[in-house]
Chain A
Amino acid sequence: MTPMVDTFAVILIFLMLTATMSSPEPATISTPYSISEKPTPDFNAMSFLLSADGKVFVNFDNGPDTLLKFRPKILAEMGKRYGIEFTEAEYREFEKYPSSLGVPISQMKSFLDAKDAATRKEFQVGIPMDSTDNQLAMWIQYARTVNPAIQAVIRGDTQTEFPVVKRVLDILQELNVKRFSLITSLEAIKINLEEIQQ
């Protein structure tokens, strides 16, 4: 019995240490496949989630050191831009909110004050990004002012309609973000010379 318990304990500790808690995203995304083997960055990333129904969600990290508190700083800049004052508790709530946000800035206060996940889910309608109210561009701009080392990462669903992707790419291009990464799952493809001699 004891050796078995020991083995279990070792496996359990290993799994607990390697576990990366995947926070539930507001939309389920099935990523496309590619041969790229480059891992996703752990920090200094702003990710754009493009759901299959055309909504756009953003997410930022707190930077390489949590003391840097990039997230509340970005929210503070957004608040200044749109004339919304957030309380200390709301900044804290925003700092530790684990998944992507698709909340228009006018709803952000009620979103952060909401207590349960079900109420919060109703606020996740996607970031507005039309030319009259381009909040996505503002988020990108302030994220880059607060953290100049930030990289853009796009995480789209295979079924996302191209015009949505194009719009996000255009906004990035207009803000001079020309290098970015697309999140994919790994799929090994081997081709050999014989194949192309046909």
Chain B
Amino acid sequence: MAEIIQQEKGKGGKKRAKRILPHMDMTPMVDLMMLLITFFMLTTSMAKAKVMDITLPDKITDPNQKAPVIAAYRTLNIILGPENKLYWYPGGVKPEDYNNLPPLNETDFSPTGVRQLLLERNRALFKKINDFNQQFISGKLEISQDSLAGAIRTLKNVDDTGPIVLIKAYKAANYGNFVDILDEMNICGIARYTFVDIAWYEEKMVEFASGGASASATSSN
């Protein structure tokens, strides 16, 4: 035992040297971490893409089946035209008017364009939905988010004053226009809207309204 103690004493100097914490150079590790963080920050897309749901009407395959009849005074036809332009006309076109087509009104996607047009026609319903939302936000109405969505859906279902919007697309339109107009329907709280095929006379109306620039290319229809 004595020997051992002596040995310890003898190595005392060495032991003290060992007691000093080993100093590790962390700079390369930090560099690597920085590099990885930068890489991940640049490659990750934090915002997940959103989706907008849409429902198309049934395709009428049975020739005896008639298309549903809607009130002409509530109908608003919106046609997506070339060069991000929008054309609209109210009501419908009767077969006897084919030689005397109604003029198209031109508008655009700006807040003062189509939004103004839709809000003017949908004011009653929009006001109701807005009031409802305001009550919910201010806490006067204590319901869950789901029942709020349900209540707004009911408001839309019972609405009988707002416009029935028929969205049509001319061939020179693009996908961005299509999404924009559907988005506009959601913004303005339009209760009834659907996407339908463009009729031949409407194509003609667009060609006439856009100055016949594309008329020659599309005359085959």
Chain A residues within CB distance 8 Å of chain B: 1-2, 4-5, 8-9, 11-12, 15-16, 18-22, 31-41, 50, 153, 155-166, 169, 172-174, 178-186, 189, 191-193, 195-196, 198
* Chain B window 93-132, contacts with chain A (Cβ cutoff 8 Å), 1 for yes, 0 for no: 0000000000000000001000110011001001100100
Across the interface, A162 reaches (CB within 8 A) one of B52, B58, B173, namely: B173
A176: shortest Cβ distance to chain B, in Å? 9
| Residues from chain B with Cβ under 8 Å of A9 in the complex | 33
Complex contacts, A198 vs chain B, CB 8 Å: 116
Distance of B167 from chain A, by nearest CB (Å): 12
Q: How large is the interface on B (under 10, 10 to 19, 20 to 34, 35 or more residues)?
A: 35 or more
Name the B residues within 8 Å of A36 (CB-CB).
50-53, 183, 186
Query: Are A158 and B45 interface neighbours, CB within 8 A?
Result: no
- B38-55 interface code vs A (CB 8 A; 1 in, 0 out): 001101111111111111
Question: Using a CB-CB cutoff of 8 Å, which residues 51-92 of chain B contact chain A?
Answer: 51-59, 80
Write out the residue numbers on chain B whose beta carbons fall within 8 Å of the beta carbon of A186.
47, 50
CB atoms of B169 and A162 under 8 A apart: yes
Which listed residue (B33, B116, B174, B183) contacts A35, Cβ 8 A?
A: B183
- Taking A8-B33, A34-B50, A183-B49 as given, write out 14 further A-B residue pairs in contact, using a Cβ cutoff of 8 Å, ordered by the A residue number: A15-B44, A32-B175, A32-B179, A38-B51, A39-B50, A40-B50, A155-B49, A160-B176, A179-B54, A181-B51, A182-B53, A182-B182, A185-B50, A193-B130
A192 to B40, CA, bound (A): 40
Closest to A158 in B: B176
Chain B interface (Cβ within 8 Å of chain A)? 26, 29-30, 33-34, 36-37, 40-41, 43-59, 80, 111, 115-116, 119-120, 123, 126-127, 130, 169-180, 182-183, 186-187, 195
Min Cβ gap B170→A in Å is 8
Assess the A1–B26 pair: CB atoms within 8 A: yes
**Cα separation A44 to B213 with both chains bound (whole Å):** 45
| Alpha-carbon separation in the docked complex, A50 to B111 (Å) | 28
